[in-house]
Amino acid sequence: MDTEKKKKKKAAAAAQEAAGASTKLPQHLQDQKTRVFCASDAPTYQNVSYSGAYMASRIDDSLNMADFVKNLKVEIKSLTEEEMVFDIIGIDPAIANAFRRILIAEVPTMAIEKVFVVDNTSVVQDEVLAHRLGLVPLKVDPRNFEYRTEADNATEKNTIVFRLKKRCWEEGPKGAETRVNEKVYSSDLEWLPLGSELPPDEETKFTAFNAPQTAPGGQPIAPTHPDIVLAKLRKRHEVELEAHAVKGVGKEHAKWSPVATAAYRLLPEVILKEDIRGDEADELVRKCPVHVFDIEDLGPDGKRATVARPRDCTLCRECIREEGWEEKVALRRVKDHFIFSIESTGALRPEELFTEAIKILTDKCEKVLADLF
Instruction: Please classify residue 189 by burial: count the beta carbons closer than 10 Å to its beta carbon, then call 0-12 exposed, 13-18 middle and 19+ buried.
Output: buried
pLDDT value at residue 204: 67
Cα distance between residue 200 and residue 246, in whole Å: 18
When pLDDT is cut at 50, 70 and 90, the band that residue 187 belongs to is very high
- Model pLDDT, residue 151: 86
The average pLDDT across 92-117 equals 95
- Mean pLDDT of the 345-363 span: 95
Residue 122 to residues 50, 233, 237, 243, Cα–Cα distance (Å):
61, 6, 5, 17
**Phi then psi for 55, rounded to 5 degrees?**
-65, -30
Spatial separation of the C-alpha atoms in residues 101 and 358, rounded to whole Å: 12
Taking 80 as the threshold, does the pLDDT of residue 139 lie above it?
yes
**Whether the Cβ atoms of residue 40 and residue 321 lie closer than 8 Å to each other:** yes
Set out the domains of the chain in order of their start, with CATH numbers: 31-55+62-107+258-364 (3.30.1360.10), 109-250 (2.170.120.12)
Per cent of the chain over pLDDT 70 is 84
pLDDT score, position 3: 65
Among 41-55, 62-76, 210-224, 241-255, the range with the most confident prediction by mean pLDDT is 241-255
262, 338 in Cβ contact below 8 A? no
Q: Length of the chain, please?
A: 373
Lowest mean pLDDT across 2-11, 22-31, 70-79, 84-93? 2-11
Question: Residue 94 phi/psi, 5° resolution?
Answer: -65, -35
Give the DSSP H or E segment for 284.
Answer: helix 278-287
How many other CB atoms are found less than 10 A from the CB of residue 106? 19
Which contacts of 320-327 are long-range, i.e. CB under 8 A and separated by 24 or more positions? 320/40, 321/40, 325/40, 325/284, 326/39, 326/40, 327/273
Residue 292 has pLDDT above 80, yes or no: yes
pTM for the model: 0.82
Confidence of residue 219 (pLDDT cuts 50, 70, 90): confident
Distance CA 313, CA 296 (A): 19
Residue 14 has pLDDT above 60, yes or no: no
The yes-or-no verdict on residue 22 having pLDDT over 50 is no
Q: What confidence score (pLDDT) does residue 177 get?
A: 57
- Interval 155-182 mean pLDDT: 80
Residue 19 — very low, low, confident or very high, per pLDDT cuts 50/70/90?
A: very low
One-letter-per-residue 3-state SS of 165-234 = EEECCCCCCCCCCCCCEEEEEHHHCEECCCECCCCCCCCCCCCECCCCCCCHHHCCCEECCCCCEEEEEE
CA distances from 151 to 108, 148, 205, 321, 341 (A): 20, 8, 9, 62, 38
CA 349 to CA 141: how far, in whole Å? 10
CB neighbour list of residue 237: distance below 8 Å, 6 or more residues apart: 121, 122, 123, 167, 168, 182
Rounded CA separation 5/18 (Å): 20
pLDDT at 16: 47
Grouping H, G, I as helix, E, B as strand and the rest as coil, residue 7 is helix
